[in-house]
Structure 1
Amino acid sequence: MNQRKLYNITAVLVIISTLLAFSSCIKEDLSECPPRSASVKVRFAINTEDDETGLSNAGVIEKATLYIFDRNNRFVAMSSRNDIVVSREYELDIDLAPDIYNFVVWVGEKAPYYTLPAFADFPAVKPGKEESTMNLDIPANRIVDFTLPRLLFSKVDNKEITGDDQIIDFDLIQNTNTLIFTVNGLERTDNTYSFSIADDNGSYDFDNNYASCKAFQYTTGALFPADSDVLDGTMTVLRLGSNRNPRFTLVNKTTGETLYPSYAGQQTDLIQLILKAYEGKTVNFDRRHTFHITLDFDTNMEATVTVDGWNVNDSGNELYPDY
């Protein structure tokens, strides 16, 4: 009997406490109300000046993985969708209490070439944003000889979620670049050729800065067409930047001969080749993502280089477009 009275008293106290809480919320002073969760919609925008990427096409479907960190950059939640169409709005399946949050999103085609953290030990372990990385899946031989699907990144820092329906706009920056190679002046053979870029740009932190990564090579093979003396190749690489120094080579794989560099001391730094071609102009590698690189070999098998129709100028003379 005493035990039953104890249970009844406890139940009454719980009911009274609940009523008091709701009575506080009914008043104009909402400070004692429990925090409401918020419904958040996300919208993606494209940040690029490169028409060749096709990123402005509204029908492109991507996979998006969104990470949410609190005001102290500790992981809170993540959400992934496989039906993202650029420029549309999407509602997250995550409820957020009103507070300040940091958002990071990675967007790309649905292909298994990139690894993102799953945070499987959460919430027992609450990882920080500073220890989170996105990594290219580089084969054991350190050779990437496949076409990378495009990868895009964006973040929104210090976003206040108020409890109302809100739209968070992400300006996506593309992390992949297309290099289109054209070679003139070589004798047409049945040999196999290889364009290569040596770099160490396979990992990024959640601010999209370069993270630690062992050096590796992007490569793409090429053969002469039966009816042409022009050798072509196309390669997709990750982020380029003015402070980087990826190294470019062209090799006849059948004979083992290095064709580019074509003489001792010739520039192989891809970034320097681009910057020298665009000398006096600004190249924004976060907004420009396709580069046409042409090698013209003379009778002495020495190559001159043009980038997007502009000669790479080693002499200091004024540049001119090579159209």
Structure 2
Amino acid sequence: MKRLYNITYSLLAATLLLSTQSCIKEDMSDCPSDIRVYFNYVEGSYASAKEGINPSDVSQINLYVFNADGKFLSEHVDPAPKMSKDYFITVPGLETGSYQFIAWGGLDSELYNLSEPLVPGQTLLSDVQLHLQSIQNDTIKAALAPLFHAAHRKGVIDVKKGISVKDTLNLTQDTYKINVTVDGIKANGDNYLLSVEDNNGRYRFENSIASQTKFNYISPCTEINNGAKLTSSVTVLRLLENRSPILRVFNETKGTIAFEKNLVELLMLINTVGGKIDFSYMHEFDIELIARNGVELSFDVIINGWRVIENGSGLGS
């Protein structure tokens, strides 16, 4: 076995020597090279605050390479990434030029798919989108798997053949979990639903929202504390400032709305009481609605421990 190892090592050394003969002086055209693509993100720290990305939530990474003109060249898939600051995907064999690298994390979920097959040398970056599936009758009841997007801050990475490149894509989480507890309203046999109405079911490859059609993320409420409270959670796609998703607690049995508010405006109220909201790294929010004297549409509101509304009579959208 030792002799075999020595022979193999010698053959490998000889191969490497031959492959580097043309790398002497200025001629680097035949040198081995690769691109190492790393990922930059705020790592999750949920012990003290619900912030950052949990690396274990990134179940699969699809890395797409486009040329400077936006023409698709190749796809590189890691079905089980072990995310860390040292994690990278290698893209070999690119010619000298500028390239656009786009990555999606979580496409192994059946809830997400691309608008069309990507054909090397044909598909344009501007033509392909990511779609949320399973929207029926303007609602989606399925629990969304975590979705991530990554791109380079400058848009392109410059490559020179024969020179290995290490560069970084900024990883963004596109899913947000909204946990709602309603205190002070008893269901008394009625069915309550938590919903978020939005139009963010389609995305261009640079991660901008492409759709206009509204739909509702819906999750049923359950009773806790012997019926003294209602609770529910819903996962939604991108939350951004200056958008208008509507959060509702809905009495399905009676067809009445117990609570309704622009979700983004509601969360941003944390900024007015000494807290901070940043949707680029904050992805989970606990909203507690405390009914005043058991009356619907009149609530105190606490978000992530911050009391943002008191005497909230007449809350509306």
In which range does the TM-score fall when normalised by the shorter chain?
Answer: 0.7 to 0.9
| Aligned pairs for 1:143-162 within 5 A | 143-156=139-152, 157-162=155-160
1:273 equivalent to 2:266? Answer yes
Match of 2:285 in 1: 291
Match of 1:72 in 2: 69
**What is the number of equivalent residue pairs in this alignment?**
281
Say which SS state the counterpart of residue 224 (structure 1) adopts. strand
2-structure distance, mates of 1:61, 1:154: 12
Say which SS state the counterpart of residue 271 (structure 1) adopts. helix
Cα 1:114/1:53, change in 2 over 3 Å: farther
Cα 1:223/1:29, change in 2 over 3 Å: closer
Moved over 6 A (4+): none
Kept in 1, the 8 Å contact 2:59–2:106? The answer is yes
CA apart distance, 1:65 = 0.8
Match of 2:93 in 1: 95
Say which SS state the counterpart of residue 43 (structure 1) adopts. strand
2-structure distance, mates of 1:117, 1:203: 9
Say which SS state the counterpart of residue 306 (structure 1) adopts. strand
Cα 1:168/1:28, change in 2 over 3 Å: closer
What TM-score does the superposition give when structure 1 sets the normalisation length?
A: 0.77
What TM-score does the superposition give when structure 2 sets the normalisation length?
A: 0.78
Q: Deviations over 1:266-286 (max 9, x none)?
A: xx1111111223226542111
Between stretches 72-81 and 38-47, larger displacement belongs to 38-47
Cα 1:71/1:144, change in 2 over 3 Å: same
Cα 1:110/1:27, change in 2 over 3 Å: closer
Q: Deviations over 1:272-318 (max 9, x none)?
A: 11122322654211111111111111224322322223233489xxx
The residue type equivalent to 2:137 in the other structure is: N
Whichever of the two has the greater Rg, that structure is 1
Calculate the aligned-residue CA RMSD, in Å.
2.8
Q: Deviations over 1:143-170 (max 9, x none)?
A: 1111101111111222122333333322
Identity, % of aligned pairs? Answer: 22
CA apart distance, 1:76 = 1.5
| Aligned pairs for 1:1-323 within 5 A | 28=25, 30=27, 38-47=33-42, 51=46, 52=50, 55-57=53-55, 62-87=59-84, 88-92=86-90, 94-108=92-106, 110-117=108-115, 119-123=117-121, 126-156=122-152, 157-162=155-160, 163-225=162-224, 227-261=226-260, 268-279=261-272, 282-299=276-293, 300-301=295-296, 302-313=298-309
1-structure distance, mates of 2:185, 2:23: 83
Between stretches 214-223 and 271-280, larger displacement belongs to 271-280
Q: Deviations over 1:56-87 (max 9, x none)?
A: 45x55511111111122222211222111111
Match of 2:9 in 1: none
Structure 1: gaps of 5 or more residues: 1-24, 262-267, 316-323
Kept in 2, the 8 Å contact 1:70–1:76? The answer is yes
Kept in 2, the 8 Å contact 1:50–1:289? The answer is no
Kept in 2, the 8 Å contact 1:68–1:102? The answer is yes
CA apart distance, 1:49 = 6.3
Kept in 2, the 8 Å contact 1:60–1:85? The answer is no
2-structure distance, mates of 1:226, 1:191: 16
